[in-house]
Amino acid sequence: MTKEQKDRLAYLGIRESDILLPSDSVDASRWAVVACDQFSSQKDYWHQVEAITADCWSTYNLIFPECYLEDEDREERIRKINANMNEYLASGIFVTYKDCFILVERMTESGTRYGLMASLDLENYSYAPDSRTLVRATEGTILSRIPPRKEIRKNAPLELPHIMVLLNDRKRQIIEPLVARRPALKCIYDTDLMLSGGHLRGYLIDSEDDIEIIIKGMEDLYRSLDMNNPILYAMGDGNHSLATAKSLYEDQKKENRQKALASPSRYALVELENIYDPALCFEAIHRVFFNTSLDDFVSELKKHCTIVSADETEADEQDWQQKLEGDDGYIRFAVVCGKDSRVYKVTSDRYSLAASIIQQVIDSLLQQGKTSVDYIHGIPSTLSFAKTGENIAVILPDISKESFFDDIKADGAFPRKTFSIGHAQEKRYYMEARKIK
């Protein structure tokens, strides 16, 4: 890679990396485990992972599954993670691919999707709701979730990324040209993934010609931005992990700014993905209000939007999203309580998303002590809660890929748990590592 290419990448807020991968002596199918923030209420899943990876080199020994975050042995787990990282580095199991990107090919039930491993410059990122940075949080960051994650990262010599970052590449000119070049690229890993994770391949991107494809595509995308509110990179998954890296980096800058600016911890390794990849599936996360009067809910709703209509409806799982679609400018969502089922059409001077309006209702009713709320994946599971008691299910429309970046510009970061990218087993599996010390 030329110095000019490095400079152009730096202007775009990304850079090549020295990426560490396990050598051929390591069983990659047991090395790679799913993102630590998945199956957070299902310790049985992680017990299976522990059994599969027993007595072998595995990223399971280098991460902290979040289902254990509240356990009493947290400090001991963190100590072991850091010790394991140092042991792995000293053991010689890693192969270092210098000054490179990696094209990722991931086969899941939703299809085959592609991504690009790159390092994001944290100087270009802020998780503040009103930020105007190139790298943007897409969901509200819960500040209380950062400190325990900082404890894990602050003494870690390695980072293992599960962060997925979205590009608004309608022209498909950054990742897709590399996909077409796979026959000419070196495949550097190729493995099945445990517990229904699908299959994973990685291709080395280190030639000047291939890197030029990335740069030219990114530069064209950059030129299309609204410089009053530029979003080049939008968080897909791993928002709190990137926020943790940012918070630690800002701490380091306070101690020694010049040292921090030159430190590898200024960057975070992520997987860039084109939002228009057909195998990248966005699913709405729905809301359930428990022990809540429907009158209280509707009364609060009227404070935050103008209700145009609330049509009674009957629908099965296949019909709901179709009923919530529309290009007439109205915001739609469904409200189900017992046998009462309605599709609401509303307008708002402030918000463009149903999730943003419903979040205002949630915040107000919680403050008044009139509800408790949970966030549910899947329409059948959500509706099951509305069949008994004074529970209200709110079915939200799927997030539109076409309007995703514009919605972030209009509303700021979405409310927490607005969307999910695929099922839990389709999230990133840890494969690559990078030194951060």
Residue 60: is its pLDDT beyond 80? yes
Residue 316: is its pLDDT beyond 80? no
Phi/psi for 159 (5° steps) reads -120, 140
pLDDT above 90: percentage of residues in the chain? 78
Q: Which residues, at least 6 apart from 320, have a Cβ–Cβ distance to it below 8 Å? A: 334, 379, 395
Question: Distance (Å, rounded) from C-alpha 435 to C-alpha 63?
Answer: 15
* pLDDT score of 318: 65
Q: At what angle do helices 146-153 and 239-255 cross, to 10 degrees?
A: 70
DSSP 93-148: -EEEEEEEEEEEEEEETTEEEEEEEEEEEGGGEE-STT---SEE-SB---GGGHHH
Neighbours of 204 (CB within 10 A): 18
Residue 271, Cα to own-chain centre: how many angstroms?
Answer: 10
Residue 123: is its pLDDT beyond 70? yes
Q: Which amino acid is at 199?
A: H
More confident residue, 171 or 284: 171
* pLDDT score of 410: 82
Question: Distance from first CA to last CA of the chain, Å, rounded?
Answer: 23
User: Worst-scoring range by mean pLDDT, 69-73, 257-261, 344-348, 420-424?
Assistant: 420-424
Residue 126: is its pLDDT beyond 80? yes
DSSP 204-237: EE-SHHHHHHHHHHHHHHHHTS-TTS--SEEEEE
Query: Stretch 352-358: mean pLDDT, rounded?
Result: 92
Domain segments of the chain as ranges: 3-280+423-435, 283-421
* pLDDT score of 317: 62
* pLDDT score of 232: 97
Residue 34: is its pLDDT beyond 90? yes
Residue 169: is its pLDDT beyond 80? yes
Residue 315: is its pLDDT beyond 80? no
Identify the residue whose tokens are 């072998």: 56
CATH 3.90.1150.10 fits 283-421, yes or no: no
User: Worst-scoring range by mean pLDDT, 129-143, 265-279, 355-369?
Assistant: 129-143
Helix/strand/coil for 308: strand
* pLDDT score of 144: 81
CB 242 within 8 A of CB 163: yes
Query: Stretch 299-326: mean pLDDT, rounded?
Result: 87
CB 134 within 8 A of CB 126: no
